[in-house]
Amino acid sequence: MPELHTDVRYVKGVGEARAKSLEKLGITDLKSLISYFPRAYEDRRGCKKIADLTVGETACVCGTVASEPRASHIRKGLDLVKLRVVDETAALELTYFNQAYLKSTFRTGETYIFYGSVEGTPHRVQMTNPIFEREDARQVTGRIVPIYPLTAGVSQSLLYKVIRQGLDACADDLGDILPDDVRLAHSLCHVRYAYENIHFPIDENALAIARRRLVFEELFLLTLGLHLLRSHRSGVQGPRCKSVNFQGFYDALPFSLTNAQRRAIDDIARDMTQDRPMNRLVQGDVGSGKTMIAAAAIFFAAKNGLQSALMAPTEILAEQHYHSLAPLLERLGIRCALLTAATGARTRRSVLEQLSSGEIDLAIGTHALLSADVSYRCLGLVVTDEQHRFGVSQRASLSQKGENPHLLVMSATPIPRTLALMIYGDLDVSVVDELPPGRQSIDTFAVKSDYHPRIYAFLRKLVAEGRQAYIVCPMVTENDDLPDERKAVTQYAQKLQTEVFPDLRIAAIHGKMKPKEKDAVMRAFAAGETDILVSTTVIEVGVDVPNAALMLIENAECFGLSQLHQLRGRVGRGRHKSYCVLVSDNTGEDNVQRLRAMTQTNNGFTIAEEDLKLRGPGDFFGSRQHGLPSLKVADLTCDLELLHEAKSAAETLIAQDADLSAHAALKTHVEELFTLTQSSMN
Ligand code: ADP
Ligand code: MG
């Protein structure tokens, strides 16, 4: 279907400038143009009589211009055009802002359709800037109208027009990607009908039919893609391992492992002795002890003469992993090295040398561990901490690097099972659903900001008992692309120091600091040299300070539920009773519900389910996080049934045609979908 790849600037009414604006929406060719789906619809069918309008509703009326439009210039940048229209029941006052040309557009005695929200009083109804068109040339009224997400330089009416043009231009070229038998078996409409009616539905029914088909297609392709990814990896030979006796490892630990930890380690040992490379996700709540599971896997690899790379999402975390793992592993004869941006040039050179000669068994760092200049003698295991920063495509790029190491992915973001099914479709999953013994739940309170005096008093009491506290404040956004986290954090820390706790030791940390500075602040806090750490979410993942007993989160409404849960997981990591206080003056229903969920449970899986209900799967499912194609039409909170249907259809197809060789077009399409996602990632 080469026509579908026609550049969008050749679509009638587009041209160079508009093509640039459209590109911001991801629209580059005909295909992406017609795949730019509405985010909502407005029912502009049927006109109301003016006398029947109620203030506050959005409605269509058919009105005749009753008086010459009056233009007035209020001041620079503010021009008004006012006119009055009537139908046989009543009159309606219209005001247009800054569209002076309208004065000569509307002519007395002509009839137009107006669509807008009704203002004024029941006896004197008004509309401001209503959409209008002539009664005899109706396009954007008299029907269900698509509403598209916009960007600067792209209006609804432009999108409306060019998508109409686009559909007309390529309707005949729209080949159906779904095999006919699949389409028929699941009563799905033809692709052409689907595209036409997702944009310009003739009625609700047509829209539902179109949407059903597109959701199915999306989920079907996704399932196929995941299958291909998985089978690609299962076709390769991984570094095969012999079984290893873990006793030496267990004996070196200061505690005994939980059953859940042991189960995960068993899963890993089983995977690593198979022919194909391991591809396993370990999912467990914060504090469930995933690091030790990783250590066991590293031990297993080292005993088999294989090197490991442990990647953390941030430098702080990499360093912390290094400091907590290296002493244990070195005692077991495993040689560890830390490799981050902060590593000096000389050390770096020597680490690189020792990695390629095999003198080092474990490299700990960030994603840079997989960059081109790092070569290993025999990389057998890659562990990534915090899956949500490490997508499918990075996993895929590993094998492209010519290595097929075992992969172990650790995530503290519990994913609802229904989503895990899709997101981790190419991974095996071990669930660590048990916390080490002696963990207490973290008492959580949601309060308004007028509680600050009490919170501060409580904080002071904890510090007097020898504990430490985190205070997290969200970034202050001065303008959209320049979030000033530095300011938010340092100002708050300063204020606390001068006005509230002149006698306590307060430090601030934020993402704009150099790794070295961050590290120093974090180290001081971990060593108990600071009482209060004021921070942005840089502490969100992983950093372990067992003496910290209070997590105070300001403007809690700015954070998602899962993020709040992650933050809370920074306390309660030692033997001290710990607390989380969420401060928010926002009384919006969503926010109240979210904070309530936090006070009611400490269970990450429950929180994740709740988050899914409140916010939808967008956050879990964005391509930024997982490297999967994002879902354009499907909404996994309400399309679950279709998900199962699409998944079973995909599985049926795979059973007949495992590598999709008999469905070449479909295969190309799926591959495109997944590589597109990969190339758009950085
Ligand atoms: P997470 O799953 O959040 O990564 P960690 O691996 O950081 O959790 O473990 C949290 C804390 O619990 C660490 O201080 C670790 O030493 C400790 N820990 C891990 N496993 C056990 C265990 N079986 N018994 C007691 N403490 C444990
Ligand atoms: Mg961890």
Question: Which pLDDT tens digit goes with each residue over 131-153?
Answer: 998 887 777 778 888 989 888 88
Counting ligands in written order, the one closest to the CA of 433 is 1
Distance CA 128, CA 114 (A): 10
The tokens for 533 are: 């750490």
Residues 6+ apart with CB under 8 A from 233: 276, 277, 279, 399, 404, 426
Give the mean pLDDT of 605-611. Answer: 80
pLDDT at 542 over 50: yes
424 CA distance to ligand 2 middle (Å): 19
Per-residue pLDDT at 682: 29
Q: What is the residue whose two structure tokens read 């959580």?
A: 444
In the 8-state DSSP scheme, what is residue 429?
E
Q: Both tokens of residue 90?
A: 């009543």
**438 CA: nearest ligand 1 atom:** 25
Return the ligand 1 atom nearest residue 574 CA: 14
- The residues, ordered by sequence, that sit 6+ positions from 434 with a Cβ below 8 Å of its Cβ are 258, 259, 260, 261, 288
Query: How confident is the model at residue 397, as a pLDDT?
Result: 59
What atom of ligand 1 comes closest to residue 292's alpha carbon?
Answer: 6
Asked whether the beta carbons of 60 and 141 are under 8 A apart, the reply is yes
Contact status, residue 428 vs residue 302, Cβ threshold 8 Å: no
Find the 439 Cα to ligand 1 centroid distance in Å.
Answer: 10
Q: Using CA atoms, how far apart are residues 460 and 227, in angstroms rounded to an integer?
A: 55
Q: What is the DSSP letter of 48?
A: B
Give the per-residue pLDDT at 217: 93
CA of 78 to the centre of ligand 1 (A): 63
Which atom of ligand 1 approaches the CA of 288 most closely? 2
Which region among 173-177, 254-258, 350-354, 385-389 has the lowest average model confidence (pLDDT)? 385-389
Ligand 1: residue of 246, 249, 250, 255 to mutate (most ligand atoms within 8 A of CB) is 255
Please give the residue that has the higher pLDDT: either 531 or 648.
531
Q: How confident is the model at residue 212 (pLDDT cuts 50, 70, 90)?
A: very high
Among candidate residues 67, 214, 201, 277, the one with its CA nearest the CA of residue 631: 214
Instruction: Please give the distance of CA 272 from its chain centroid, rounded to a whole number.
Output: 31
DSSP code for 80: E
* Predicted confidence (pLDDT) at residue 95 exceeds the cutoff of 90: yes
Residue with tokens 């912390």: 320
Q: Which of 296-300, 398-402, 433-437 has the highest mean pLDDT?
A: 296-300
| Residue 465 token pair | 């008992």
Q: Which atom of ligand 1 sits closest to the CA of residue 284?
A: 2
Whole-model pTM above 0.85? no
Q: Could you say which ligand is closest to the alpha carbon of residue 414?
A: 1
Q: Is 382 helix (H, G, I), strand (E, B) or coil?
A: strand
pLDDT at 324 exceeding the cut of 70: yes
pLDDT reported for residue 676: 47
Return the ligand number nearest the Cα of 570.
1
Q: Which of 38-42, 83-87, 155-159, 667-671 has the highest mean pLDDT?
A: 83-87
What mean pLDDT do residues 36-53 have? Answer: 89
Which pLDDT score is estimated for 225?
83
Contact 540, 558 (CB under 8 A): no
Q: Return the higher-pLDDT residue of 486 and 108.
A: 108
Residue nearest to atom 14 of ligand 1 (CA): 573
Query: In the prediction, which pLDDT does 2 show?
Result: 47
| Ligand 1 atom 19: residue of nearest CA | 289
Lowest mean pLDDT among 84-93, 376-385, 443-452: 376-385
Q: Give counts: helices (H), strands (E), the chain.
A: 23, 25
Q: Can you tell me which atom of ligand 1 is nearest the CA of 432?
A: 2
Query: Which pLDDT belongs to residue 482?
Result: 40
What is the atom index within ligand 1 of the atom nearest the CA of 258?
23
Taking the CA of 432 as reference, the closest ligand is 1
Which of the listed ranges 61-70, 282-291, 365-374 does the model predict with the highest average pLDDT?
Answer: 61-70
**Distance from residue 282's CA to the centre of ligand 1 (Å):** 14
pLDDT at 209: 95
In this predicted structure, what is the pLDDT of residue 575? 85
Return the pLDDT at 513.
82
C-alpha span between 398 and 255 (Å, rounded): 34
**Pocket of ligand 1, beta carbon within 6 A:** 255, 257-258, 261, 284, 286-292, 412, 436, 544, 573
**Which pLDDT belongs to residue 416?**
65
Q: Which of 298, 311, 300 is nearest to 374 (CA)?
A: 311
- Closest residue to atom 26 of ligand 1, CA basis: 436
Query: Helix, strand, or coil here: 91?
Result: strand
User: How many residues does the structure list for the chain?
Assistant: 682
Residue closest by Cα to atom 15 of ligand 1:
289
Q: Cα(468) to centroid of ligand 1, in Å?
A: 19
Query: What does the pLDDT read at residue 680?
Result: 35
pLDDT for 322 equals: 93
Among 111-115, 202-206, 301-305, 514-518, whose mean pLDDT is lowest? 514-518
Q: Is residue 87 classed as helix, strand or coil in its secondary structure? A: coil
> What is the structure's pLDDT at 626?
46
Distance (Å) from CA 291 to ligand 2 centroid:
6
Cα 256 to Cα 259, 318, 321: the distances in Å are: 9, 24, 20
Residue nearest to atom 23 of ligand 1 (CA): 257
Q: Which of 544, 547, 570 to mutate to test the pocket of ligand 1 (most atoms within 8 A of CB)?
A: 544
Q: Residue 515 has which token pair?
A: 């790794």
> What is the whole-number distance in angstroms between the Cα of residue 547 and the centre of ligand 1?
14
Reported as a single tens digit per residue, the pLDDT across 182-210 is 999 999 999 999 999 999 999 999 999 99
Estimate the crossing angle of helix 392-400 against helix 204-234, to 10 degrees.
30
* Confidence at 393, pLDDT banded by 50, 70, 90: low
For residue 439, what pLDDT is reported?
Answer: 77
Rounded CA gap, 177 and 677, in Å?
Answer: 19
Q: pLDDT grade, residue 440 (50/70/90)?
A: confident
Residue 425 confidence (pLDDT) above 80: no
**Contact assessment for residue 432 and residue 288, using Cβ atoms and an 8 Å cutoff:** yes
Mean pLDDT of 246-267: 95
Q: How far is the centre of ligand 2, averaged over its atoms, from the C-alpha of 98 (Å)? A: 56
E strands of 87-180, at which residues?
A: 91-97, 111-117, 119-121, 124-128, 131-134, 144-147
pLDDT of residue 149: 86
Given this model, what pLDDT does residue 484 score?
56
Share of the chain above pLDDT 70, in %: 87
Residue 316, strand partner residues: none
Q: Which residue CA neighbors atom 4 of ligand 1 most closely?
A: 290
Q: 284 C-alpha vs ligand 2 centroid, how far in Å?
A: 9
Amino acid 399: pLDDT: 56
Helix (H) or strand (E) holding 75: strand 70-75
Confidence of residue 157 (pLDDT cuts 50, 70, 90): confident
**Nearest CA residue ID for atom 25, ligand 1:** 436
**Quick one: pLDDT at residue 621?**
46
Q: pLDDT at residue 577 above 70?
A: yes
Could you identify the atom of ligand 1 that is nearest to the CA of residue 569?
3
Query: 445 in helix, strand or coil?
Result: strand
Least confident segment among 88-97, 280-289, 625-634: 625-634
Percentage of the chain surpassing pLDDT 90?
44
Ligand 2 centroid to Cα of residue 315, in Å, is: 14
Would you say residue 506 has pLDDT above 80? yes
State the pLDDT at residue 678: 46
Residue 487's contacts (CB-CB under 8 Å, 6 or more residues apart) are 476
Taking the centre of ligand 2 as the mean of its atom positions, its distance from the CA of residue 321, in whole angstroms, is 8
Atom of ligand 1 nearest to the CA of 385: 4
